[in-house]
Amino acid sequence: MRNVTTLIEQMTLEEKAGLCSGDNFWRTKGVERLGIPAINLSDGPHGLRAQGEEQDHLGVNESKPATCFPTAAGLASSWSVDLLEQLGAALGDEAQAEGLHVVLGPGANIKRSPLCGRNFEYFSEDPLLSSHLAAAHIRGTQSRGVGSSLKHFAANNQEHRRMSVDARIDERTLREIYLASFEHAVKEAQPWTVMCAYNRVNGEYCSEHRRLLTDILRDEWGFEGFVVSDWAAVNERVPGLVAGMELEMPASGGERDAQIVAAVREGQLDEAVLDQAVARLLTVFFRAVDARLEDAGFDAEAHHQLARRIARESMVLLQNDGTLPLANEQRVAVIGEFAERPRYQGGGSSHVNATRVEPLLEALETRGASFDYTKGFEIDRDAPDQQLEQDAATAASHADVAVLCLGLPDRHESEGYDRTHLDLPANQLALIEAVTAAQPNTVVVLANGAPIVMPWAGRVSAILEGYLGGQAVGAAVADLLYGEVSPGGKLAETFPQRLEDNPVHLNFPGEGDVVRYGEGIFVGYRYHDTHDVAPLFPFGHGLSYSHFDYANLTLSADTFNGDDQLTVSLDITNSGEREASEIVQLYLSDQTQTVPVAAQALRGFDRVTLAPGATERVEMTLSRRDFCWYDAERADWRLPTGSFEIRVGASSRDIRLTQCLEVRGDKTPLPAIDRNTLLGDLKAHDGAVRILREHLADIAEELPMLNDLMGRGGGDDLMDAMGHYLPLRAMISFSGFTEARLEALLKDLRATASAD
């Protein structure tokens, strides 16, 4: 490793400023005379988009062939850190083969609304699941000597006005939901780079948000790499550098390098800030070139098979009346153009030039299945076509079962814009009507990056959510339809019955450039469960061809005070007749009533694969933070006191085992003491109560609203409430209390507070 400090001393001001932006779309600048290398960055996150000489931003020009894995929406439904790590490692291998140093991904933004056009690229509505899967993705890639760029930091939860919108989020929600989705991945996997988002958060562009990029990311979470701007996310370069955004991408034609130089020369920017940024860049640049494997290659067929395995572990069987799995001898009518032209990835910067694509028709031919194909609808049009529907109905009526391949065409969801509704195109809806009228055994296979509504669900026998299944999508679907493997994926997001049931409905996509996160922490299932709004398919839901029994829940302790970890153990038995995997979910229900909380929150998960009849003991651990809420006033995580229910189940709405746990939380801190402090807020503190009683003894005689405080029983609800919500200064209005006495009281209370 070179001595970075010595190199910086040898660099000119211009060279240092130049290092802080790209040379072209995908490459940084080097300094040849000093042996400082340039590095190559490329999208990500579920396949590479390495471009040659013909470069562009959003995938207009073809990139080199690479394996297209399922996108994050599907990956997340595997709930498998192992698979995510394997995928990350495969990306790392391909990056080595293409001479890339950093892969731009994964994306850990929360799915706030199902309408967000880029949800296919994000993992979940739940921060724990999202950040654990992101961490695994990063671990895998970086294990191959290739860096990850965790993106888009932070609160980039919509595409509408994505480069200017201001996400207004209260601090508790930001911490518990939107930042938490990145936090574990940063702390645990230490990505080489973090990409700041386009949007603003509470008034500041992310690219110049010092609190996000330095105070939280670096100082609190210990991030050691460099921050790169999303492509063209830079607003003002010099404030961005000061805030902690080291690398601007792509290039700015030297414009903003010159601004940095001028700012140093004019004394507006301390050169030490630039040096620190350059040091961070050089550290990663050298790590990246040192880890380069010359002559690296990858086994395209092995990666295709990995893509197939990941896809089939990720797909979610939403509904099944027993029609699935299909039997080999059944005659199947395969209907829908997606069977021959699959939609297997999303549009925009993550677009991969797949090494090969295996549509369902090809996979069915390979396995010698007995089927006929009819197009049913055209992907490129939305309008119904009676002839196509009629042909499909006829084919369906001659078969034992119909398999309808439906989903969202590319133009319906993409990076760059959001959807406005959750419906399938009209031609597909008409097709469902026609086919189900002709064939009672109809299976729907979906290709979509985010939830759709399904008013037709009651008309079909089975629904397999394939998400955007990557290049081996057809083989994976065939494996599941015919029961080569049992489906094991579960939803990492809620499917609402109606768009209006989604908690952000009134606050999406905002007014002009402002979007208020008015739903607070109640995103996805947190809202549905708390407000008891039945979803179409709940978070964590997914069926199997087998059955699992849950038993013998034990906790390693009956009480918890945050010092040690708590282990939750249970037995899972595969009580069905085929090998299958189960995703066990652990939710905590905070019943302490300290602050408004969601009815339950995911705090652990595990995926186990079991032979028929086999039992495995599953263990999940909980630590202090899992029980905490974020106290914005004190800028810290607080452990409440009271009862929690530990819930273990097969989905958020299929809880199988519960147990209570008493938590002895943090001492409630005294509130800030001033004339507006409420009496009631001091009652939990013995010292404060003692002082209040001393100071108020005489006036309390006349004021029944102080009875409760004085320990005289209270009992009059109105009076007790008046006393509880009484600011200290109001005593002057209700009694002979004086300003001078109030000052003396405040002085004594502050003394107790500081001694506390």
Helix (H, G, I), strand (E, B) or coil at 44: coil
- What whole-number distance in Å separates Cα of residue 148 and Cα of residue 87? 13
418 binds ligand BGC (CB under 6 A): no
Q: Is the dihedral of CA 748, 754, 755, 756 positive or negative?
A: positive
DSSP-derived secondary structure letter, 537:
B
Please calculate the CA angle 9-227-82 and round it to the nearest 5 degrees. 125
* Residues in binding contact with ligand BGC, number by CB under 6 A: 7
Q: How far is the CB of 150 from ligand BGC (least distance, A)?
A: 11
- Residue 465 is a binding residue for ligand BGC (CB under 6 A): no
Q: Which residue lies nearer to ligand BGC by CB, 99 or 576?
A: 99
Q: How far is Cα of residue 277 from the mean position of the Cα atoms in its chain?
A: 28
Is there binding between residue 349 and ligand BGC (CB under 6 A)? yes
- The single residue among 104, 354, 408, 691 that binds ligand BGC, judged by CB under 6 A, is 104
| Closer by beta carbon to ligand BGC, 197 or else 263 | 197
Three-state secondary structure call for residue 569: strand
Q: What whole-number distance in Å separates Cα of residue 494 and Cα of residue 73? A: 12
Between 352 and 480, name the residue whose CB sits nearer to ligand BGC.
Answer: 352
Is position 606 annotated as part of the catalytic site?
no
The packing angle between helices 81-98 and 300-314, to 10°, is 150
Q: Strands 636-638 and 629-631: what pairing?
A: antiparallel
Q: Is the CB of 57 or the CB of 421 nearer to ligand BGC? A: 57
Distance CA(219)–CA(68), nearest Å, equals 36
* Contact with ligand BGC (CB under 6 A) among 27, 46, 137, 151: 151
Query: Do 125 and 540 meet the contact criterion of CB atoms below 8 Å apart?
Result: no
Q: Which of 43, 93, 166, 230 is catalytic?
A: 230
Rounded to the nearest whole angstrom, what is the least distance from the CB of residue 236 to ligand BGC in the complex? 19
Contacts to ligand BGC from residues 5-44, by CB under 6 A: 43
Tokens encoding 645: 């229910």
Nearer to ligand BGC, 43 or 519 (CB): 43
Nearer to ligand BGC, 20 or 318 (CB): 20
695, 741 contact by CB (below 8 A) = yes
- The HSE-up count of residue 78 (CA atoms within 13 Å, CB side) is 28
Kindly state the DSSP code that residue 85 receives in the 8-state scheme: H
Residue pair 745/699 in contact (Cβ under 8 Å)? The answer is no
DSSP helix/strand/coil, 281 = helix
Task: Look up residue 391 and give its amino acid.
Answer: D
231 binds ligand BGC (CB under 6 A): yes
Distances from the Cα of 93 to the Cα of 52, 294, 295, 389, angstroms? 18, 12, 11, 45
Is 89 strand, coil or helix?
A: helix
Rounded to whole angstroms, the Cα distance separating 474 from 470 reads: 9
Region 262-321 residues binding ligand BGC, contact defined as CB under 6 A: none
Closest contact distance (angstroms) between CB of 413 and ligand BGC is 15
Q: In the complex, what is the shortest distance from the CB of residue 231 to ligand BGC, in angstroms, rounded to a whole number?
A: 4
Among 15, 183, 208, 230, binds ligand BGC (CB under 6 A): 230
Phi then psi for 107, rounded to 5 degrees? Answer: -100, 125
Q: How far is the CB of 545 from ligand BGC (least distance, A)?
A: 37
Q: Which H helix or E strand runs over 173?
A: helix 171-173
CA separation for the pair 545, 312 (Å, rounded): 13
- What is the radius of gyration, based on Cα positions, of the chain? 29
Q: What is the DSSP string of 499-536?
A: GGGSTTGGGSS-BTTEEE-TTTT--THHHHHHTT---S
- Tokens for 497? 């019955």
- With respect to ligand BGC, which residue has the nearer C-beta, 40 or 561? 40
554 DSSP β-pair partners = 569
Q: Which is nearer to ligand BGC, 130 or 349 (CB)?
A: 349
Work out how close the CB of 90 gets to ligand BGC at its nearest, in angstroms, rounded to a whole number.
Answer: 19
Per-residue binding string, ligand BGC, 611-650, x by CB under 6 A, is ----------------------------------------
Instruction: Please report where in the chains the tokens 């746990």 appear, as a residue.
Output: 661
Our CB check for ligand BGC shows the closer of 57 and 398 to be: 57
Work out how close the CB of 162 gets to ligand BGC at its nearest, in angstroms, rounded to a whole number.
Answer: 8
Instruction: Using CB positions, name the residue nearest to ligand BGC.
Output: 349
Select 246 or 606, whichever has its Cβ closest to ligand BGC: 246
Are 46 and 69 in contact by the 8 Å Cβ rule? The answer is yes
Task: Work out the number of other CB atoms within 10 angstroms of the CB of residue 624.
Answer: 18
CB of 212 or CB of 393, closer to ligand BGC: 212
Ramachandran area for residue 301 (φ above 0: left; ψ -120 to 50: alpha; else beta): alpha
DSSP conformational letter for 517: -
Q: 395 to each of 332, 389, 399, 534, how far by Cα in Å?
A: 9, 10, 7, 36
The interface with ligand BGC within residues 41-60 (CB under 6 A) comprises: 43, 57
The residues that bridge with 464 in the sheet, in sequence order, are 317, 445
Tokens coding 1? 């490793």
CB 289 within 8 A of CB 101: yes
CB of 154 to ligand BGC, least distance (A): 13
- Map tokens 């509505």 to a residue: 125
Shortest CB 25 distance to ligand BGC, Å: 8
To the nearest whole angstrom, how small is the minimum distance from the Cβ of residue 151 to ligand BGC?
Answer: 5
Give backbone dihedrals phi and psi of 128, rounded to 5 degrees, phi first: -65, -50
Least Å distance, CB 558 to ligand BGC, is 47
Return d(Cα 689, Cα 210) in angstroms, integer. Answer: 41
Q: What minimum distance in Å lies between the beta carbon of 104 and ligand BGC? A: 4
Q: For ligand BGC, give the closer residue by CB, 413 or 501.
A: 413
- Active-site residue numbers? 230
Summarize as ranges the residues that interact with ligand BGC (CB under 6 A). 43, 57, 104, 151, 230-231, 349
